[in-house]
Amino acid sequence: MRAVDISAVKIPSRRPASGRDDLSWWREARLGLFIHWGLYAIPAGVWHGKRVPYTGEWVMWREKIPFATYSRLARRFHPRHWDAAGIVRLAKEAGMGYLVITAKHHDGFAMYRSDASPYNVVDATPWHHDPLADLARECRRGGIRLCFYYSQDLDWQHPDGAWNDWDYPGKKDPDRYLREKVFPQLTELLTRYGPIGMIWFDTPLTLSRPRSAAIRRLVKRLQPRCLVSGRIGHGLGDYSLPRDNFLPPGRLEGDWETCATLNHTWGFKRHDHEWKSAANLITTLVDLTSKGCNYLLNIGPDADGRVPAPSVARLRAMGAWLRVNGIAIRGAAPSPFRNDFPWGRITTRGRTLYFHFFGQPPRWFRLHGLLSRVRRITALAGSRKAFPFRQMVEPATGTPILAINFTGARRTKPVTVIAVELAGLSRVETLALQQPDETITLIGPMARVGTTAKQPAMRMGGNGLSENWRNTADFLEWRFTVLHPGTYEVAVVTTHQHLEPWSGGHTLRVECAGSTLRGVTRRDALLPGLRSAYYPQIASRFGSLTFTRAGDFQLRLQADKLKLLKKNKTLFSDGGIQLSEIRLTRA
C-alpha cells in the first residue's frame, strides 16, 4: 500500500515553524467557558405571555420589539446573585482555560461601564455595577484567560447597526456606526480591563472586508497578542469557527473552535430544560479535541445572576472526568488519523497516543494503520499494569495492525482513556482503511475534489462538508483500502443545519470497482450519534458494491442530476449538497 495524502484543500495555519505563538494558550486550553448574559435574561424567552422560538438573546429581533420598549428592561436589571468569583471557580473546576463573556450582544446593550454609549449596565440599570470588572479581577486571580464577546455587525440599538429595520428603516451608514460605537467600545474593552485573551466577534453578515480589517487592526494595535475570532468574517480571524453546535465529520486542518450550548439557548430561557448529559459533553470534548477543535461551552445566567443548577452540575461532572483524564485533552494535539473510529477517538501528546473508548475496551482490540512502533500500553485510571500487545502486517494489503489484549481493563464512564506510548512520533497510513468491524467510512475531509470542467466550482469546506456543489461536472474522489473482499452496502450521508432546509433529492452516481451505482439522496435513515442532534446525518441507500480482492480502490461520487431549489439557499448555506461521508458496511 502506498501512503498517499489525498486530503482536502488545506486551510493555511498561522502556526509559525518555531512553535509557540499567540494561539498557544488557546490551543492548550482546549475547553473554554462562554457566558451569555444581558437584558434578554429578564424576558427569558417569554414576551407578552408567549414563548418565543429560537434562542433567548434573539427575543428583540424575533418579536421586533421597539428599542424604546426593550431598553426599558434595563430599569429592572438588578442581579442580586451575581457572583463573578463563583463563576471563575466553576470554570476552573470544569477544567476550562478561558472565559468569554458577552460585553455587547446583538441587542447593543453594553454589559460594562461604557463612555461611548449610555446604553450600558452601569448607567442604565439600578445596579450601577460593572460585572466585567469583577470578572477581570477574578480571572487574574484564578489564572483564567479573560475574553470578550463583541457583536461587531448586528446591533439593534444603534440606528446604523445592522438588522434593526423596524425602528430604523432605510439606508444605514456602517462607518458612522463603527466610528460612534464599535471603535470606541473596543478601545474601552482593550484598555480598561488588563490583558484580554481574545475578542470573540460573531455573526458577520453585512460588514465589508475593509471594515472588518479595520476592526482587526484596532484590536491588534491596542493589544497585539489579543486573538480575533474567526467570525470577524472575510477569513480575517486568528482561527476558524464552524456553525454553532457543529461537530465536524473528521479531523480538520488548522485551528478551530466549536461553540455550543448546554441546553439549546445561549441567553437564559426559563422554559429550556433540555440539557445535554454530562456523558454527551465529555464525549463531545473528546471528539472535538481529536479533530483539532476547541470546545467553548456556554452558560446563561438568569436575570438575578444565578447560573442554572443543571449547568453547574454538568460542568462539575466534566471537571471530575478531566481530573483523571485531562492529560489526554489539555495541551493534547489532534488524532494522527483524519477519520473517527467506531469505538472512540484518538488524541496525541508528543510520543503518546491516547485511545478514548466510548464503551468498554474490547478484550481483543485491533487498530489498523499505525506505522510507528509501540513501547507500552497502560490505562490512565486505576492500575498502571501494562496491557500485552502485538504489531504485525496484514499480508494481503500491507496494512499495519496493532492488536491489544485489554483483559482486566477497567471502564471509566463515560470515556475510558488508554495511553499508548510510541518509540517515536506517530506515523500513520493516510488512506481510509477498512476497520476491524468491517466498515469503511469515507469522510469529506479525505476526499479529493475533481471536475470534468475547467475548474471545480465545488470545494471541500474547512468544516469538512462539501460546499457549492451545484453542478454535474464536479465530483469527489477517495482512495481506500479494503482488507476483506465481499459485498458492501453503500450509504451516502448528507446533512444540514436542523433549522434550515435539507438539500436532497439529487440523483448521484457512485463509481467504484468497475460498477456504477445510481441513487437519489433520500431520507432512508437518520444516523444515530451526537452529530445528528443539530446537523441530522441523513443516510441515503445506494445499493451494494462487490470487491473481489483485497487492496486499494478508488470511489468517485458525482451528480447526474441536481435538484437545486431556491428555498434551500439560506443566509449561511449555498443550497447545494452538504456531503459529510460515504459509509460502506458488510451486506
Identity of the residue, 64 or 363, whose beta carbon is nearer to ligand H79 in the bound complex: 64
CB crowding 3-41: b at 16 or more within 10 Å, else e: eeeebbeebeeeeeeeeeebbebbbebbbbbbbbbbbbb
- Using CB atoms within 10 Å of the CB of residue 335, give its burial: 0 to 12 exposed, 13 to 18 middle, 19+ buried: buried
Instruction: Let me know if 250 is exposed, middle or buried by CB neighbors in 10 A (0-12, 13-18, 19+).
Output: buried
User: Which CB sits closer to ligand H79, 58 or 488?
Assistant: 58
Among 33, 37, 40, 57, interactor with ligand H79 by CB under 6 A: 57
Q: What is the DSSP letter of 2?
A: -
Q: Which stretch binds ligand H79 (CB under 6 A): 51-59, 216-224, 316-324, 457-465?
A: 51-59
Indicate the residue among 364 and 572 with the shorter CB distance to ligand H79: 572
Identify which of residues 237 and 344 has a Cβ nearer to ligand H79 in the complex: 237
Determine, following the binding rule CB under 6 A, whether residue 202 of this chain makes contact with ligand H79: yes
Smallest separation, CB 185 to ligand H79 (Å)? 17
Among 244, 477, 489, 511, binds ligand H79 (CB under 6 A): 244
Query: Are residues 470 and 557 in contact, defined by beta-carbon separation less than 8 angstroms?
Result: no
- 3-state SS track over 118-141: CCECCCCCCCCCCHHHHHHHHHHH
**Is residue 203 a contact point for ligand H79 (CB under 6 A)?**
yes
> Which stretch, 53-61, 89-97, 113-121, 458-466, contacts ligand H79 (CB under 6 A)?
53-61
Least distance CB 582 / ligand H79 (angstroms):
30
From 150, 239, 266, 354, residue interacting with ligand H79 (rule: CB under 6 A):
266
Determine contact, residues 148/118, Cβ cutoff 8 Å: no
Please, what is the minimum distance in Å from the beta carbon of residue 449 to ligand H79? 28
> What's the closest the beta carbon of residue 317 comes to ligand H79, in angstroms?
23
Using rule CB under 6 A, residue 37 touches ligand H79? no
Which of 54, 82, 168, 183 touches ligand H79 by CB under 6 A?
54
> Which of the 8 DSSP states describes residue 361?
P
The side-by-side arrangement of strands in the sheet containing 344-349 is 344-349, 352-357, 416-422, 374-379
Coil/strand/helix, residue 320? helix
- Told to check if 540 binds ligand H79 by CB under 6 A, we report no
Q: What is the DSSP string of 362-425?
A: PSEEEEE-B-SPEEEEEESSS--PPPPEEEEEETTTTEEEEEEE-TTPPP-SS-EEEEEEESSS
Q: Is the preceding omega at residue 536 within 30 degrees of 0, hence cis?
A: no
567 binds ligand H79 (CB under 6 A): no
Instruction: Judge contact between 294 and 285, C-beta under 8 A.
Output: no
Residue selected from 23, 182, 259, 517 as contacting ligand H79 according to rule CB under 6 A: 259
From residue 333 to residue 362, the character string flagging contacts with ligand H79 as x (rule: CB under 6 A) and all else as - is: ------------------------------
**Please, which residue, 57 or 581, has the CB nearer to ligand H79?**
57
Q: Is 474 in the site for ligand H79 (CB under 6 A)?
A: no
Contact window for ligand H79 (CB under 6 A) among 52-60, 130-138, 247-255, 542-550 = 52-60
- Yes or no: say if 439 and 491 are a contact pair by the CB < 8 Å rule: no
Task: Give the type of residue at 232.
Answer: I
Binding to ligand H79 by residue 117, rule CB under 6 A? no
The residue range among 54-62, 79-87, 186-194, 306-314 that interacts with ligand H79, by the rule CB under 6 A, is: 54-62
Kindly give, in sequence order, each residue whose CB lies less than 8 Å from that of residue 18, ignoring residues fewer than 6 positions away.
none
Residues 479-538 that bind ligand H79 (CB under 6 A): 499
Q: Distance (Å, rounded) from C-alpha 536 to C-alpha 544? A: 23
**Residue among 121 and 491 whose Cβ is closer to ligand H79:** 121
Q: Which is nearer to ligand H79, 54 or 82 (CB)?
A: 54
Number of residues that bind ligand H79 (CB under 6 A): 11
| Residue 17 lies near ligand H79 (rule: CB under 6 A) | no
Binding residues for ligand H79, per CB under 6 A?
54-55, 57-58, 202-203, 244, 259, 266, 499, 571
